Structure 1
Amino acid sequence: MKTFFRETYQVLRVNLRQLVLFEILYRLVAGAFYIRLVNLLLKISLRAAGYSYLTMSNLAAFLLRPVTVGCAMVLVLVGAFLMVVELGGLMTAYQAAAYSRRIDVVSIVRGAVGKAVDELSKRNWQLFLLALASYLMMNSMVLLRLLTRVKPVNFVMAEIWSQRAGRAGLAAVVAGLVVIGIPTMLVFFACMVEQKRFRDGVRRSMELVKGRWPKALALLFGLNALMVAVSVALHLLFVVAAAVCVTLFVDSYAAMAVLAAVCRRLELVVLAVASMAAGLVDFGALTVVYYQFETRHSQVKPWDFSYVCRDHLSRKRILAVTGAVAGVSLLFLLDMVCNGFPLDSSVLTETEITAHRGSSKRAPENTLAALETAIDEMADYAEIDVQTTSDGVVVVCHDLNLKRLAGVNRRLGSMTYGEVRDLDVGSRFGADFAGERIPTLEEALDDCKGRIKLNIELKNIGDRTDLPEQVVEMIRDREMQEQCVITSVKLDYLVRVKEADPDLHTGYILPAAYGRYYDNDAFDFISLRSSFVTLGLVENAHEKGKAVHVWTVNKKSEIEQMKVLGVDNIITDYPALAREVLYREEATESLMEYLKMVLR
């Protein structure tokens, strides 16, 4: 067994730098493309089903729809192809490494594309499905952790795990994957190196592993156990470092909220690295296994690792194609940074947090200072109110009369923007905010783009206004459709928003929880007072594909109650407190308390 580990290390280290570079570039390019595809097909499926959000209540009906099934098949096929391309790159590098031959990244890319094209030309479609299954096994721990972060899958997984039959079913699935994986572990080498058809490759793999598979399985198990241990240790190290930084540099009121958000992002980084390492290490180990088993079985001279794939593309073309795809990928990534993550997190993630009128307990409400504070407190959304001045400028302000905010007993709609701009709405909150002004919506959008999502409430200022169309145009001009939702107590405004841009998500603010309001296509979620929320209301809304936002939730006990009821978004004056309650972990809290005591 020591020989297997030693030779695996040798195979890995020869082209490790080039392989890591290939993996990073490939996953950036393929990942950006695949995320866009998932986002597109998810939108198509949700629109066909008439849903805006996925929940436990509507998940089964959604998955069984023909459009959803078709989109899922497309995603599986594309994902399998992308995995075979990546696998082809690894095989190319390891073929060279087996005889200590160094190759560059372009050669790895050429081998990746060439091998995938070869398998398509041989119609080895089963190999693509096997690649998908292999990656599922190799990344099982990573995927399991990711699935616990995605709704409604996390609820499904928790329900399955809580039942004995569910645990037995999961064990049976794992056992089935192992039973399939053992005899087929060398099929990729038989098909990609020996150029066999899939069925012949399976027979060749079974021939090679017969009587020897326990050694290979022990090698793979040992390596993966080591990678899991390293990943856990790395994550713990990051958490401790983050906790020290938060304790030293973040105000105590927001410390737990910031740490919870940072730890989740750090975990995603560790999982991404672990996923990449799993492919590199496992296929490196399988290269050694194949080489050892093949030479002992045939009792001939060692396997020829020379590049056997046909040159489908020249070096210059590979460079040109790679550069073009990398450029497109970079644009996608920049778009994600500027306009928000394309895969709508409100559809898939757990309860989100909205800062009410910005962070209105720590800064003057509906001001740029309140928005900045909401960002600092790690809110997912900032809720702002908009209306128009007498000369048609859209400004961010809740009250129709400005007496409470600015000491001026006049309606905002009767004042010009020039008059509104000169008002001080910060001095009454505190001396530190003296001179804070009522911002325009354009200023708020520009300030928040790529930093925080916005829940824009259209105040009811009558039927003759063009407020809905103005707001839609401003959002569309900045390409912030993925970053904004629009709400109102006036249903007609939401109808007009949908007419202007059907892809914008809208929310109906309900004065009371009565009547059947779930079937209306003018809005995608309901927003109501938290005291009206019941489990039945949430389930009924979810069955219709509508999300539930609740306001204004400020007490710990009420935040915990809303989490239990399964609401999708909590609107609060204390976003840091809400994040602490919703996403706190006992181990992290204990660590923070210890660090506070030590560093005090």
Structure 2
Amino acid sequence: MICIDFYDKETNMDKNQQTPKTNLLKKILHIYSKTLKIILRNILYLIAGQVILMGIAYFLLFPFINMIIDDTLRLTGYSYITAGNLFRFLVHPITILMLLLLFIVIGIFLTLDILFLITFFSLTEREQKLKVVMLAKLTIYRLFYCIKKGRMTALFTSWVLTVISSVPFLMFAVWRFRNFKYYMEETPSRYLFFGVFVLAIGMLLFLYFIGPYYYHSLLTERNGLLTVSRKDIRPHERRNLLISIGGWNTLLAAFLFLIYMFTMAMTAVLVSGFSDRLEATSTFIEVYDRMSVYLALVIFVFGITSNMALISYTFHRHRKLKINGHEEAEDFFKPAYSYKKIIYFLIITLFTINVYYFYQVVHNGSAFDYMNLQDVKVTSHRGYSHSVPENTLMAVTKAIAEKADYVEVDIRVTKDGELVLLHDPSLKRTTGYNKFIWEVPYEKVSQLDAGSWFGEEFAGTKIPTLKELFELAKGQVKINMDLKYRNDSEDLAKKVVALMKEYDMEKQCVITSTSIHCLKQVKEEDSDIRTGLITYGIYGGIIKNKAIDFFSMKASLVIKNTVNEAHKNGREVHVWTVNTKSEIERLKRIGVDNIITDNPAYVVKVLKNNESDKFLTTLLKIIKD
């Protein structure tokens, strides 16, 4: 019989001299101390192994998830997921099938990580000399063995163990990331309470019927799969184990929070030397957001590693059971030796394909960008028209420097068919040349001065082509192209889409127009390109028009009901042109998705004021004092 006993010789004390609570506390602290020693004993191997696994996730798993999400959105006919249409999206048969696929694929990866940690800590606990090749072979062999033996129970167990081990990560995500906050705010409290209640009951049932020692017992092949927790662990020992895990995660959360605060404080120290407060705030916000993502990954890895160390130590504490499998692992890989070249070729090919796909996602935008979860994006109007001549490369460069999410430009066609950046039909306002753009060949357009009207310091600024814009902005900032449709003879939509494909900009750009006909032409060329209708209102059946993925509306005409209706039908709401604090705050409250402004740095500051700016201000005051 396998039995867990939290009482060992190293903590043997006179029970008459201690209260049960004191004795339990000392035992748990002793377990924590031993767990830390196991983690530190071969720390370099542990870090290397987790880095390799996270690299697999980064280059193979995440691109695959992106692809599945992208395909699911396309096959279900949704271009945008919100709280309003989330339920309908989730119950769609295609979505259910895709989620099941993701459950299996992600579950396999989580199982691989958990079994690596169990194998690593098992060998470390027995103070065996680690051999990298054998560690890898044992992990992979056990992965196939456990999935074959446990099937869906094994994958379910991996998910639950990951959730239990990720308590610090979940706390950080709910506190730090606006996406989690948004869904918690938008979800009725009774549903949220019910969801948390069901999750808690599910965790307790798992711990009672299967238990955290599932994989350990499965690998020892003792007493079947579901009897270890119920028959071999006495009630008070099961309680002590739960207390140990709870206390361990509380300490982890506190430790990781201190690391997070220290990192942010150091960032604040670095930006406190900036003389321009707006520049300091913008820089801090950028670092704050990026560091939060990296810290979230570190917290997740740290959480699952340390929890599996604790669980493995408590399992092995009074067990001298050998979880070897060395011979089985060698036998498992023997048939593959004669096919080494083929296997290596397949691995390298698969890796290359996924790296290429990942590069495309990073370079051109991610499928996750389609799933706007109420993080308001900021678009810089006509490049950066607040302080630089509009629709120029200089304006786009300024928008990139000011950390705008999108840059909005206007596209027109010259007499000889060149695509250029220009808002007005006439060249007169920005160049002084009193001709319509379609009456002038590009050679003449390229000689005009489009900067002097804005200020003498900008004299000589040229009207750029769309090609020049793509060359500048590729991989730097997303682009919102307002197509100034005039007639079909110009082939505006066809030319723009062709150029997007030439520069691989399909996912880095969105296209807007006041003409639904123009948007339909875009969709005919490439249905995956996101399109938006510039309008003063949403009316009739237009909200379900398949040629429209979002609406670009005058800000003063947008109310909460407008946003709700658009979101329920899977459409975003972009608003223009917003430059005042009160209007920015109002639009944020009613849940718009994108704010188009002449001054993106100011809008970013206002949007983040409740979180980052207050944190930065407090830190700067402390530093200066």
What are the superposed Cα offsets for residues 540-591 of structure 1, whole Å, 9 maximum, x if unpaired? Answer: 2222211111111111111111111111111111111221222233574253
Question: What's the counterpart of residue 93 of structure 1?
Answer: 120
The CA RMSD measured in Å over matched residues stands at 2.7
Take 1:120 and 1:164, find their aligned partners in 2: how far apart are those partners? 37
User: CA shift at 1:168, angstroms?
Assistant: 6.6
Counting aligned pairs with the same residue, the percent is: 29
What are the superposed Cα offsets for residues 202-258 of structure 1, whole Å, 9 maximum, x if unpaired? Answer: 212444432323443333233322221222122212222222333334743343233
Take 1:186 and 1:487, find their aligned partners in 2: how far apart are those partners? 56
Question: What's the counterpart of residue 298 of structure 1?
Answer: none
Secondary structure at the aligned position of 1:502 is classed as coil
Letter in 2 for 1:449: K
Relative to structure 1, the CA distance from residue 241 to residue 598 in structure 2 (aligned partners, 3 Å threshold; closer, same or farther) is: closer
Take 2:267 and 2:617, find their aligned partners in 1: how far apart are those partners? 10
Question: What's the counterpart of residue 163 of structure 1?
Answer: 189
Unmatched 5+ stretches in structure 1: 296-301
Comparing 426-435 with 238-247, greater Cα deviation is found at 426-435
Question: What's the counterpart of residue 306 of structure 1?
Answer: 324
Question: What's the counterpart of residue 448 of structure 1?
Answer: 473
Question: What's the counterpart of residue 555 of structure 1?
Answer: 580
1:200 aligns with 2:224: yes
Structure 2 residue corresponding to 1:363, chosen from 382, 388, 402: 388
Secondary structure at the aligned position of 1:282 is classed as helix
Kept after mapping to 2: 8 A contact 1:90/1:108: no
Kept after mapping to 2: 8 A contact 1:258/1:377: no
Secondary structure at the aligned position of 1:385 is classed as strand
Letter in 1 for 2:83: M
1:498 aligns with 2:505: no
1:138 aligns with 2:165: yes
Question: What's the counterpart of residue 527 of structure 1?
Answer: 552
Kept after mapping to 2: 8 A contact 1:15/1:102: no
**Corresponding pairs, count:** 589
Relative to structure 1, the CA distance from residue 588 to residue 528 in structure 2 (aligned partners, 3 Å threshold; closer, same or farther) is: closer
Kept after mapping to 1: 8 A contact 2:512/2:533: yes
Letter in 1 for 2:417: G
Question: What's the counterpart of residue 186 of structure 1?
Answer: 213
Letter in 1 for 2:495: Q
Kept after mapping to 2: 8 A contact 1:386/1:398: yes
TM-score, length of structure 2 as denominator length? 0.87
What are the superposed Cα offsets for residues 410-466 of structure 1, whole Å, 9 maximum, x if unpaired? Answer: 222222222222222223333443332211111111211111111111112322111
What are the superposed Cα offsets for residues 372-425 of structure 1, whole Å, 9 maximum, x if unpaired? Answer: 211122111111111111111111121221221122222222222222222222
1:417 aligns with 2:442: yes
Relative to structure 1, the CA distance from residue 208 to residue 250 in structure 2 (aligned partners, 3 Å threshold; closer, same or farther) is: farther
Structure 2 residue corresponding to 1:77, chosen from 98, 104, 108: 104
User: CA shift at 1:334, angstroms?
Assistant: 3.1
Letter in 2 for 1:118: Y
Letter in 2 for 1:143: L
Take 2:483 and 2:275, find their aligned partners in 1: how far apart are those partners? 34
Once the two structures are superposed, the pairs formed by residues 325-364 of structure 1 within 5 Å of their partners are 326-364=351-389
Relative to structure 1, the CA distance from residue 585 to residue 531 in structure 2 (aligned partners, 3 Å threshold; closer, same or farther) is: closer
User: CA shift at 1:13, angstroms?
Assistant: 2.2
Letter in 2 for 1:310: A
User: CA shift at 1:172, angstroms?
Assistant: 5.3
Structure 2 residue corresponding to 1:540, chosen from 565, 585, 591: 565
User: CA shift at 1:81, angstroms?
Assistant: 1.3
Question: What's the counterpart of residue 52 of structure 1?
Answer: 79
Question: What's the counterpart of residue 231 of structure 1?
Answer: 256
Choose 1 or 2 for highest CA Rg.
2
Question: What's the counterpart of residue 387 of structure 1?
Answer: 412
TM-score, length of structure 1 as denominator length? 0.90
User: CA shift at 1:96, angstroms?
Assistant: 1.5
Kept after mapping to 2: 8 A contact 1:344/1:482: no
Letter in 1 for 2:146: E
